[in-house]
Amino acid sequence: NPRIDRNQLGDRLFLLAAGSIPPAYAGLLQVNLVVIGLYRRLFQHSNEKPQIKQKTKMTVKYAWLDVDPGHDDATALMMACQLENIKLLGVSSVHGNTSADCTAKNAARCLHAFAAPPDVLVYPGASKPLLRPTKHDSEIHGEDGLGGVVGLHSADSPEVQARFARKDDGSFIHAIEGMATAIKDTWRAGTGHQVSVVSSGPMTNIALFVSVYPELMEAVEQFVFMGGGVGLGNRSAVAEFNIMCDPEATQIVLDAPVKAVMIPINVTHTAIVTSAIHSRLRSPHLPHLDGVLADPCTNLRSTLSSIISFFAGSYKSTFGFDQGPPLHDALTIAYVSHPELFKAQRFRVDVELHGKHTAGETVVDVWNYRQCDDSWGSTGKNCLVTQEVQVRVLTYSQLLFLTRTVFTRLPSFLNYCWIVSPDVMRYLHSTCNIDD
C-alpha cells in the first residue's frame, strides 16, 4: 500500500517475518535490525514508489495424464491434481513399473490421497506392449509399484474403487475410450480447448489412441512425455526404461502430426530431492539439520516422505545417487504448467527398433543429418527436446525478499552484515545457498 509510511513498511515486514522464524532461532532476533534497516535503505531515500503488481489472468492448461505408478508418477499425479493452472481431465494407467492391474489401483489410490476433483477418474489401459514382452521394474519401485509407501487407502476400499471410470454395467471404461471422449468434449469441434496429453510411462495407450482416433489429432496441443535420453540410458547402455518397454509405441507417437515434447533423463537427473528438500517436505517450518529429517507434521506429508524415502534408497543402491532421487515424472506436469522453466530445442527424434544392443534408444539428430521439413510428425523435426530445467531451492518463505530483492538491488547490504550473529549468517547461508 503506497500510503503506508516507508518506515512502518520495514517494521511490518519484520513482524511478519519474525512470526515465522523457527523456534530454534527465536533467540537470534538481531535479524530484525537487518530487515528494518534494509527496507528503510531501499525505500526511505528513494523517489521510487513501491510498485503494486496487477494480478494477471491465469491461463488454464487442459491435460490428460497417462501413468504407471511408480513413486515419481505419484508426484506427477499430485501436481496435476493441485496446480491451479492445470485442469486434469482424467488419468489412464498402463503397464510399466509394475503390472497393469497394480498401476491402475495405484493411480486410484493416489487420486484419493491427493484429493483429486471427484470427476477425475482412472481409466485402466494396456497390460502389455504392442509387440514385445512385458517388462517391470521391481528393483526400483517394489513388486506393487509403490513399495514402502505408507498411508494410502487399500485398493479395495470404497473410496478408491469410486475413483474408477465405469460403464453402466460396472465394467471399466478403457483408457483410449476415456481419453478420446474427454479430448473430444474439451475440443468441441474447434470451439473449445486443445489438450496436452502427458505420459510418464510406456506410451502404449497413447500410440493406440493415435492409431484409433486420427481425427482427434487436431484437438491435441502436444504430447509431453518423460522418457529417453540423449546419448544416455538407465535400463541399458543407451535406452531409458519407459521407451525401452515399448519402443514401437513411442515411434508411433513421434510420427503423429502433433508437437511432441521429450523430458529426457539428462534433464530429470538434475531435479534431485535432496535431504534439505525432503526435510522441508516433512515439516516446512523446522530448520534442516544435516543428516536429520524433521518429523512429518501431517499424515499426507508422512505419505509423501515415504514415497521419497523408498525411491531414494532404490536410486542409491542401483545407480549410486547419494544426494537423493531424481523426480523424473513430475517434470512432465511442471512443463505443461510452466514451460518457461525449461530450455529446449527442436530436433528429429526416432527410436531404435532393431538393434541388438540399442533397442529403445532415442536417436536425437543433433547434427541435422536427416533432411526434414517444418512439420511435426513423420517427415519433420518432430520433437522439442528439453535440455535444461531451472532447479531452484527456496526454503523459508520469509527469506524470499532477501534472495530476490535485497541481494539483487542493494549491494551495500554488506554494510549491515556486522549486525547479524554468526549463527544467523550460517542459517541464511545454508537455507538460501548464498555465497560467502
C-alpha 385/C-alpha 345 separation (Å) is 5
CA 121 to chain centre: 20
* pLDDT of residue 53 exceeding 80: no
Mean pLDDT calculated for residue range 156-166: 97
C-alpha 121/C-alpha 166 separation (Å) is 9
Q: Which of the four pLDDT bands, split at 50, 70 and 90, describes residue 430?
A: low
Q: Which of 71, 278, 288, 328 is catalytic?
A: 328
Asked about 328 being catalytic, the answer comes back as yes
Q: What is the pLDDT of residue 98?
A: 97
* Domains within the chain, CATH numbers bracketed: 61-405 (3.90.245.10)
Across 4-8, 316-320, 344-348, the highest mean pLDDT is recorded for 344-348
Q: Which of the four pLDDT bands, split at 50, 70 and 90, describes residue 43?
A: very low
Q: Which of the four pLDDT bands, split at 50, 70 and 90, describes residue 87?
A: very high
* pLDDT of residue 69 exceeding 50: yes
Residue 212: which of 243, 260, 175 has the closest Cα? 175
Q: What is the pLDDT of residue 58?
A: 83
Q: What is the pLDDT of residue 12?
A: 46
Q: What angle do CA 395, 397, 403 make, to 5 degrees?
A: 75
Q: What is the pLDDT of residue 34?
A: 45
Q: Which position has the higher pLDDT, 371 or 434?
A: 371
Mean pLDDT calculated for residue range 196-206: 98
C-alpha cell at 428: 541464511
The DSSP symbol for 174 reads: P
**What is the per-residue DSSP string for 216-258?**
GGGGEEEEEEE---SS--SSSSS--HHHHH-HHHHHHHHTSSS
C-alpha 365/C-alpha 254 separation (Å) is 14
Percent of the chain with pLDDT over 90: 71
Please state, as a whole number, how many other Cβ atoms lie within 10 Å of the Cβ of residue 408. Answer: 8
Mean pLDDT calculated for residue range 416-433: 48
Q: What angle do CA 69, 74, 78 make, to 5 degrees?
A: 145
- Residue 122 host element (H or E): strand 122-124
Q: Which of the four pLDDT bands, split at 50, 70 and 90, describes residue 7?
A: very low
Residue 37: which of 7, 65, 63 has the closest Cα? 7
* pLDDT of residue 358 exceeding 90: yes
Q: Are 65 and 77 in contact (CB under 8 A)?
A: yes
Q: Which position has the higher pLDDT, 285 or 227?
A: 227
Q: What is the pLDDT of residue 427?
A: 52
Which residues lie across from 346 on neighbouring strands?
A: 384
C-alpha 159/C-alpha 50 separation (Å) is 50
The Cα-based distances of 220 to 86, 92, 137, 382 in angstroms read: 15, 16, 30, 15
Q: What is the pLDDT of residue 21?
A: 47
Residue 365: which of 343, 386, 350, 384 has the closest Cα? 350
Q: What is the pLDDT of residue 294?
A: 82
What would the pLDDT profile of 107-144 be if each residue is shown by its tens digit?
999 999 999 999 999 999 999 999 999 999 999 999 99
Q: What is the pLDDT of residue 26?
A: 42
The mean pLDDT of the chain is 84
Mean pLDDT calculated for residue range 181-202: 98
* pLDDT of residue 48 exceeding 80: no
* pLDDT of residue 418 exceeding 90: no
Phi, psi of 416 (to 5 degrees): -100, -5
